[in-house]
Amino acid sequence: MADFRVEKDSMGEVQVPSNAYYQAQTQRAVNNFPISGIRIKRSVIKGLGIIKKSAALANVELGLIDAKIAALIQEVAQEVIDGKLDEHFPIDIYQTGSGTSSNMNANEVISSRANELAREKNLDIHVHPNDHVNFGQSSNDVFPTALRIAAYNMVEEVLIPGMKTLEGALKNKGNQYAHVVKTGKTHLMDAMPVTMKQVFDGYARQIELGAQRVKSTLERIRELPQGGTAVGTGINTHSEFGAKFAAQVAKETGHPFIEAINHFEAQATVDAPCELSAQLKTYAASLMKVANDFRWMNSGPNSGISEIKLAPLQPGSSIMPGKVNPVIEESVCMVCAQAIGNDVTVTIGAQSGNFELNVMYPVVAHNLIESIELLGNVSKNFAEKSVNLLTVNEENIADKVIKNPILVTALNPLIGYDLAAKIAKKSYAENRSLIDVAEEMCDLSRAELEKALDPIKMTKGGFVE
């Protein structure tokens, strides 16, 4: 058997691998874009499958294509959704900016496989990639729709669950060590005391707000451009197609997709995906702060802060025996850096639309989905392999708290700022107990000082009585 077969399109003949379901247009794209070797994301391929299945259902309902042809399209589209045909989607993400190559890739794969099934079932049917699989559609509304379906699905199925796992882990760890008072830090310098619960509840709230910000963008993401066809007017498709299509996608995915309120906006811009990317960037910045705090609190163990002990997961050095590093936190920071960088690409892509079409959809899709996927996975991993396993160095924390000269702040209302500052400086300079120095330098009794300088009371706000 020959390794190649000859396929024809409007531009002539082209050699295609003999075992490939794709046809001439896909092969031309493979030949034209030997750029990165990075293919479109699995979630986007799934989105294309959902589109073709839902379009076939909508077109049958509208009486626009033969029911037997539509049934074959649906059957193969389900194989695309299930990931059974991924090897037949070889096109590089750096391709035509509308995603036409990937749309035709889906059309060709589905038509070839559908025709194969027709022969197996002895059906006298020929499924055409354009006239049937792509009926009532254009790459200009298909790829933007695939991007939105993929993004919505990945946010709900990967990112939000990962964020919720991390939020819960942080809350649980705070509750576990609610009794521990540590020295707070501002400017990386000792400040007033806080409880571990307050610290971890603050982290948890960061994650909670991040999830809320991300979910708020889905109200715009759920508007599907499908039905606008070439330029947003809906030429060559039924006027009811967009609404019926969106209803089928909602049924297929379980998510509340609707037809775009304005097709010209929906397919000419990347505004909604750009908004989502911006919130992913915000979450990445927030998550990096948490991970870096963990690295600082774990630093040492002898010469650093050493307030927490992260689980020892792997050797940390090829030359220094016994060294263990905060590897999970480092991986978190790298993911956050990648997501922040991806947002720059999405932003440039979003401003690169011209008139009725944006021409950076594939790279926007790749970077947006990558950020969603990475942040969801790393959030879950951070929770399971770091937060859940860490312990607090209670003895070390307690020793440092009582030696913290900044506790003198609680005496401000009682003795005034200037005298309190002198006490703090002398305590630090002489490496002596704050309460001992205060007893020598002010009129408060030992009992009054012990009451005023109780660290746990300082974590509750207000005035220490």
Per-residue pLDDT tens digits for 194-215: 999 999 999 999 999 999 999 9
pLDDT band at 16 (very low <50, low <70, confident <90, very high): very high
- Supply the pTM of this predicted model: 0.96
Active site residues: 187, 317
Letter string b/e over residues 49-84, b meaning 16 or more CB atoms within 10 A of that residue's CB:
bbbbbbbbbbbbbbebbeeebbbbbbebbebbbeee
pLDDT of 465: 65
- Are residues 274 and 366 in contact, defined by beta-carbon separation less than 8 angstroms? no
Mean pLDDT of 440-465: 92
Tokens coding 461 = 């706000």
Q: 125 and 111 in contact (C-beta within 8 Å)?
A: no
- pLDDT band of 463, cuts 50, 70, 90: confident
In this predicted structure, which of 25-29, 214-218, 238-242, 300-304 has the lowest mean pLDDT? 300-304
Longest alpha-carbon distance in the chain: 103
Report the pLDDT averaged over residues 379-403: 95
C-alpha pair distances (Å), 23 with each of 29, 77, 78, 323, 454 = 10, 17, 20, 55, 77
Read off the pLDDT band of 433 (50, 70, 90).
Answer: confident
Alpha carbons 310 and 297: distance in angstroms, whole number: 9
Q: What is the pLDDT of residues 64-83, one digit of tens each?
A: 999 999 999 999 999 999 99
Nearest alpha carbon to residue 19 among 104, 70, 94, 90: 90
Domains assigned to the chain: 18-135 (1.10.275.10), 141-235+254-393 (1.20.200.10), 403-458 (1.10.40.30)
Amino acid, single-letter form, for residue 412? N
What SS3 state is found at 419?
helix
380 token code pair: 């879950």
Q: What is the pLDDT of residue 456?
A: 94
Coil vs helix vs strand at 191: strand
pLDDT at 320 over 90: yes
Q: Quick one: tokens of 390?
A: 């860490």
The two tokens of residue 208 are 């909670």
